[in-house]
Structure 1
């Protein structure tokens, strides 16, 4: 959980992002809900919009230009192929 929180912080710091859009595998939902709640308490000006679904579908969408800032896949191969 700390690793993702640090990653979100590192991602938002340089660009001053007001919203982070995340594509995440559906099985990650319980962990993400905790992590994002914690992140937003310490970064109230940054919204985190998470879309949960199939890693394969997200892979295809991102290849076709879907505007996700971060992609957390259940399949390690998809991020490597992007």
Structure 2
């Protein structure tokens, strides 16, 4: 994930991912929210969600920022700087 200051009072979060498509990332995060132990990706492969502290941190960040998974994985997200605290 990239983080930069945008124009005015905006912070830009950019999703940088070379391994997974945005659809697969949505599938993984939504699987985590549903408390699944694993997610079977549509293109094949299985992702274990039971021991994923980074995924837990990402889900917590999205909750605190009030951002949906779909908004996050679109690529670049702009949020007001006051929400980042």
Specify the TM-score bucket, using the shorter chain as the normaliser: under 0.3
The higher radius of gyration belongs to 2
Scaled by the length of structure 1, the TM-score of the pair is: 0.25
Scaled by the length of structure 2, the TM-score of the pair is: 0.25
Structure number with the higher helix fraction is 1
